[in-house]
Amino acid sequence: MRGVLGGVLLILLWEGMARGFALPSYTLPAVSEILGSIWIQRASLISGGATTLLEAVVGYGLGTTIGIGLAVLITVLPWSRTALLPVVMAVNSVPVAAYSPLVLLWFGIGVSSKIVMVTLAVGFTVFLSALAGFDRVDRRSVDLLRSFGAGQAAVLWRLRLPAALPLIAAGMRVATVRSLIVAIVTEMLGANSGLGWIIYQAVVQIDFVQVWSAIFVASAISLAFFGLIGWIERRVIFWR
């Protein structure tokens, strides 16, 4: 309820500023104007949103799987940590945005280049969270469990995974939002559909109300995705 109140206050402030100071729409359009434009252009926004969401969700699924998988691999096979971690870290330390020109060159301007970019961004976020979570376990507990003859897999399942779940969950929630942003940013650099493409087109045509409309739709989709993953996680973690 308080969240709604905060949101309403913000919107009122925005609307008041835009109307009170009669700001031109190229500085900041009023919220009501943006909502009206969203309704008028709903058809193109829905199809653009669907493309972006598809890219984000597929990339998110792949990225989460790869991220957790890699963290599990490094935890179960300690020798692989020495070999893999430095390379992963070096690749990760380059901002995702820097890879976008190369990924566009390699995978073209279609949906696949965006999925690759989202997978990269989500994968690293989830990997870092999962690894930190697996490492969080007290060494003595591990030794104790191992002294009872438990293998790495058992330690992982019984001890490390439960301890890591909250961190993995936090990483996965942060990653939802990143997945959409990365999809949109990549679309802005080269695409033929999606919300990022709509934003790019609108900027070129100097239609700022449309830019904001697309941003609003992107925000709404991100929030829904964020909420959905949060809801699923609450169920899974409580169930465990």
Partner 1 sequence: MQRRTLLAAAAVAPAILPAIARAQGTQKATLRLKWLAQTQFAGFYLAKARGYYEAEGIDLTINPGGPNLLTENLVATGADTFGLSGGTDSVFAAREKNLPVVCIGVSHQQTPFFFVTRADGPIRTLQDFRGKTITTWYTGANYVLLGMLAKAGLKPGDFTMQPQQVSVTPFVEGQIDVVTATKYNEFYTLMTRMGRDKLRTFVAEEQGITFPRDTLIVNETTARQKPEMVRGFLRASIKGWRDALRDQKAGVDAVMAAAPSLNRDHQEFMLVEAGKLMTAGAAAQQGLFWIDEAAIRSAHDFLREHEVIKQPIDLAKTYDGSFLAAIPAADRMA
Partner 2 sequence: MSASLSAPAMRATGVWRHTAPVLLGLGRLVLGLAIAAAVWEGAVLAFGIRPEYLPRLSAILSTIAATPEAYAAGFLRTLLETLLGFAAGVLVGVLNGVLFLRAPVLRDMLFPIFVVSQTIPVIAFGALVVLWFGNTLLAKAVIAFYLTFFPVTVNTLLGLQSVDPRQVALLRSFGANGRQILFRLLLPTALPQIFVALRLGSSLSLVGAIVGEWFGDTTGLGVILLQAMYTEQVTVMWAAILCAALLGTGFYALVSLAERWLVFWGAEQ
CB-based contacts of 135: which residues, under 8 Å, 6+ apart?
A: 75
Site membership for partner 1, residue 35 (CB under 8 A): no
Of 161, 96, 86, 98, the closest CA to residue 125 belongs to 96
Measured CA to CA, the distance from residue 6 to residue 12 in angstroms comes to: 10
Which residue of 21, 32, 42, 235 would you call a contact of partner 1, by CB under 8 A?
Answer: 21
Q: What is the token pair recorded at 208?
A: 């700022």
Q: What distances in angstroms separate CA 57 from CA 28, 128, 189, one per listed residue?
A: 31, 20, 20
The position carrying tokens 């599990």 is 72
| 103 or 121: CB nearest partner 1 | 103
Q: Is 190 in the site for partner 1 (CB under 8 A)?
A: yes
As a dihedral over the C-alpha atoms of residue 199, residue 180, residue 230, residue 125, rounded to 10 degrees, the angle is: -140
**Residue whose tokens read 């990225």:** 63
Q: Contacts with partner 2 in 75-134 (CB under 8 A)?
A: 82-83, 85-87, 89-99, 101-102, 105-106, 124-125, 128-129, 132
The residue (of 101 and 162) whose beta carbon lies closer to partner 1 is 101
Interaction of residue 141 with partner 1, rule CB under 8 A: no
Site residues for partner 2 per CB under 8 A = 1-3, 5-7, 9-10, 27-28, 82-83, 85-87, 89-99, 101-102, 105-106, 124-125, 128-129, 132, 136, 166-167, 170, 173-174, 177, 180-181, 184-185, 188, 196, 199, 203, 211, 214-215, 218-219, 222-223, 226
Site residues for partner 1 per CB under 8 A = 21-27, 101, 104-105, 108-109, 188-192, 197, 199-201, 203-208
